[in-house]
Amino acid sequence: MEKKSVKAWLYLLPAMLFLGIFLIYPLVDVFVYSFEENYNFASQSYTGTGLFNYSYVLRDPYFLQALKNTFLLVVITVPLSTGLALLISVGLSSIKPLRELYQTVFFLPYVTNTLAVGLVFMILFKRTPYSDGFVNLLLSLFHAGPVDFIDGPYGAKMLVLCLYTIWVVMPFKILILTSALASVNQTYYNAAKIDGTSGLRIFFRITLPMISPSLVYLIITGFIGAFKAYSDAVALFGTNLNAAGMNTIVGYVYDMLYGNSGGYPSYASAAAILLFAIVLTITCINLLVSRKHVHYIS
Amino acid sequence: MNNTEQSKTANKGTAVSGVPAKLRKALTYVFLSLWALVVLFPFYWMVLTSVKSYGAYNSEYLPKLYTLSPTFQNYADAFTAVPLANYFLNTVLFTVITTALMLAATVLAAYAFARLEFRGKNLVFVLFLSLMMIPNELVIITNYVTITSLNLRNTFTGLILPSVTSVFYIYLLKENFEQVPDQLYYAAKVDGTSDLKYLFRVMVPLCKPTIVTITILKAIECWNSFVWPRLITDDQNYFLVSNGIQSIRESGFGRENIPAMMAAVVVISLPLILLFLFFRKMIMAGVSRGGLKG
């Protein structure tokens, strides 16, 4: 028996080493950092413990800007992308010919490099002295613009960031919702048809309740993902997000660690823990709200 | 479309597809095609721009939607003016080693949880699962400090080691391993087969689809990784494609050589798109079981 146990632990050893060193130890350490004041990277020393790092971060205008950007991004993209994905998935499941082709095309953004395709979006929206760019060409058809979406007004920049974020997150949502729709038991629909129920009523009374667990899952993961936005913003506006006024909370954490502000692991830790607290709170609220409205069928 | 009309046709039980149903179908196709256009257009624009000559691109104040004189000069520039080939090799090396290490650790751990008996197994497994909830943003700070103080910045070791673990894949593979009938194990034991041999001769071949799926998902993740490489490398010789494209954008060809930049973007995007077209079903099934973007 003992020998068997030893063998099992040996099998687990590689995974445990990696997890221990790069996941569990850092998790504990990040809290320690966040309370160490004036931590010096070179000498690994600090002057005291307390909440100073948190109050510094909360008063930092760059953090407040990042907080505002991130909240706007979350509030705009999560409902829009989920709603649009629902429409597309319902459309997809109502057709037969070409369905697989559409599904394949819709999934493409998932397997592309966020940084690389972000550059394409940048070019489509950017206005330079030599060219107005494609989007402004479109706008001019409606006698609007031209607007510089990349270096221009805040609203325009936010719009591009939201559009790109939605473009990136759609494949996952469409995939989850189409498989949820496909697994709804056909007998419900047949029964409704015999009763002569209208299409809209079928959707709200049968389809929506049946796929509500998947919807809740998407909304929760959507919130979490949007709160962690970073690469999309870098792709559009470059690495100096603070200068562009388009930083996100995660971007603030990384900038604190490295980059233009130099290394401040204590501030980075405090900001990361604040982000985690926000995400945890929102997730709990989501779960509480959804409990009342979701139908789980065992 | 009004409801009474629809319910009337339904009530009659006639499956005749009236005008509204046909119209609705047509509208569905139009809507889906519109979204397909939104998805595909950036790809079209990227390829189109990459084959426009530098001079032609910069003389178009209003961008043209097509080109009559495509050139491959930009692709040559992408490989000669910036170290794109080097970024590419780095990424391949990083992806292969990281994925291989992940696979080794995952297969062994999944086997221990699925097949071996030891005290505290359930507790350890629950602890493993709870690790899935730890956000990367929290642990990356200490990892950065650890790797920096070990003098591993700008090394492959520093890039790879913290990127190896994926608790979710252990869980996925363990579930699959458990579906292999116990009788096979007992039969192998009677024949005197060792656990390790049983694992690699029986379990791994039987669970090949899952193993291929997690390999592909991990490879995609590695290919696109940006945050960790950006923190840990500032020497161009160790850049991966994501960081490479970012530095190309900020200083590469000179800011205005957009066509060459787009050629680089095409080269970087192509491997994953090809991988996706070959393993489409597997990737989509794998992602819907728990892949997460972001």
The span from the CA of A194 to the CA of A192, in Å, is 5
Q: A37 - beta bridge partners?
A: A48
Residue numbers of the domain that contains A247: 50-293
Number of domains in chain B: 2
Examine the domain organization and report whether B66 and B91 are in the same domain.
no
Does A40 reside within a domain?
no
**How do the residues of chain B divide into helix, strand and coil, expressed in percent and rounded to 5?**
75, 0, 25
Residue to substitute from B40, B113, B142, B159, interface A, most A β-carbons within 10 A: B142
Q: CA quadruple A51, A54, A56, A58: dihedral positive or negative? A: negative
Task: List C-alpha distances in Å: A216 to A52, A209, A222, A295, B240.
Answer: 37, 11, 9, 11, 36
CATH number of the structural domain spanning residue A181: 1.10.3720.10
d(CA B116, nearest CA chain A) in Å: 6
Complex prediction ipTM: 0.88
Among B141, B262, B272, whose Cβ lies nearest the Cβ of A265?
B141
Residue numbers of the domain that contains B97: 81-252
Q: What is the pLDDT of residue A210?
A: 87
Q: CB of A26 within 8 Å of any CB in chain B?
A: yes
Q: What is the pLDDT of residue B290?
A: 62
Examine the domain organization and report whether B70 and B97 are in the same domain.
no
CATH number of the structural domain spanning residue B125: 1.10.3720.10
Partner-chain contact B256 A130, CB within 8 Å: yes
Chain A residues with CB under 8 Å of B292 CB are: 172, 221, 225
Q: Does position B16 have pLDDT exceeding 50, yes or no?
A: no
Measured between CA atoms, the residue of chain B closest to residue A260 is B231
Does A37 reside within a domain?
no
Examine the domain organization and report whether B148 and B194 are in the same domain.
yes
Lowest mean pLDDT among B57-61, B200-204, B222-226: B57-61
Partner-chain contact A15 B105, CB within 8 Å: yes
Examine the domain organization and report whether B57 and B90 are in the same domain.
no
The span from the CA of B106 to the CA of B149, in Å, is 28
Examine the domain organization and report whether B229 and B86 are in the same domain.
yes
Among A25, A33, A116, whose Cβ lies nearest the Cβ of B269?
A116
Examine the domain organization and report whether B119 and B240 are in the same domain.
yes
The DSSP code sequence of B76-107 is HHHHHTS-HHHHHHHHHHHHHHHHHHHHHHHH
d(CA B270, nearest CA chain A) in Å: 9
Does B262 reside within a domain?
no
Q: What is the pLDDT of residue A184?
A: 85
Examine the domain organization and report whether B96 and B50 are in the same domain.
no
The span from the CA of A8 to the CA of B121, in Å, is 9
Average pLDDT, chain B: 84
Q: What is the pLDDT of residue A163?
A: 94
Examine the domain organization and report whether B58 and B164 are in the same domain.
no
Q: Does position B1 have pLDDT exceeding 60, yes or no?
A: no
Q: CB of A104 within 8 Å of any CB in chain B?
A: yes
Q: Which positions ≥6 away from B116 have C-beta within 8 Å?
A: A4, A7, A8, A11, B195
Q: Does position B65 have pLDDT exceeding 90, yes or no?
A: no
Number of domains in chain A: 1
Examine the domain organization and report whether B118 and B207 are in the same domain.
yes
Q: What is the pLDDT of residue B291?
A: 53
Examine the domain organization and report whether B106 and B238 are in the same domain.
yes
Q: What is the pLDDT of residue A173?
A: 93
Burial profile A144-164: b = 16 or more Cβ within 10 angstroms, e = fewer: ebebbbbeeeeebbbebbbbb
The span from the CA of A5 to the CA of A20, in Å, is 20
Partner-chain contact B137 A238, CB within 8 Å: no
Measured at the alpha carbon of residue B77, what is the angle toward residues B76 and B78, in degrees to the nearest 5?
Answer: 90
Of B217, B190, B236, the closest CA to residue B283 belongs to B217
Residue A279 has which token pair?
Answer: 């995400």
Does A20 reside within a domain?
no
Q: What is the pLDDT of residue B128?
A: 87
Q: What is the pLDDT of residue B14?
A: 36
Can you tell me the mean pLDDT for B64-75? 81
Partner-chain contact B63 A133, CB within 8 Å: yes
Question: pLDDT per residue over B38-52, tens digit each?
Answer: 999 999 999 998 888
Q: Domain boundary at B75, B92, B113, which?
A: B75
Question: pLDDT per residue over B105-155, tens digit each?
Answer: 999 999 999 988 888 888 999 888 888 888 888 888 889 888 888 888 889
Partner-chain contact A19 B167, CB within 8 Å: yes
List chain A residues with pLDDT less than 70: 1-2, 39-45, 129, 259-262, 295-298
Question: pLDDT per residue over B81-118, tens digit each?
Answer: 888 889 999 999 999 999 999 999 999 999 999 988 88
Q: What is the pLDDT of residue B255?
A: 57
Does B275 reside within a domain?
no
Q: What is the pLDDT of residue B129?
A: 85
Q: What is the pLDDT of residue B254?
A: 59
Examine the domain organization and report whether B190 and B137 are in the same domain.
yes
Question: pLDDT per residue over B249-261, tens digit each?
Answer: 877 665 568 888 8
Partner-chain contact B3 A201, CB within 8 Å: yes
Interface of A with B in 61-100 (CB under 8 A): 84, 87-88, 91-92, 94-95, 98
Determine the straight-line distance between the first and last CA of chain A, rounded to whole angstroms. Answer: 39
Does B8 reside within a domain?
no
Burial profile A235-256: b = 16 or more Cβ within 10 angstroms, e = fewer: bbbbbebbebebbbbbbbbbbb
- Rounded to 10°, the helix A99-107/A61-93 angle is 170
Q: Which positions ≥6 away from B79 have C-beta within 8 Å?
A: B85
Chain B residues with CB under 8 Å of A127 CB are: none
Chain A residues with CB under 8 Å of B97 CB are: none
Q: Which positions ≥6 away from A230 have C-beta within 8 Å?
A: A248, A250, A251, A254, B227
Does B273 reside within a domain?
no
Q: Which helix (H) or strand (E) holds A48?
A: strand A48-49
The CB density around residue A274, as the number of other CB atoms within 10 Å, is 19
Of B127, B95, B97, B92, the closest CA to residue B109 belongs to B127
Examine the domain organization and report whether B129 and B228 are in the same domain.
yes
Instruction: Report the residue count for chain B.
Output: 294
Q: Domain boundary at B51, B75, B99, which?
A: B75
Q: What is the pLDDT of residue B8?
A: 39
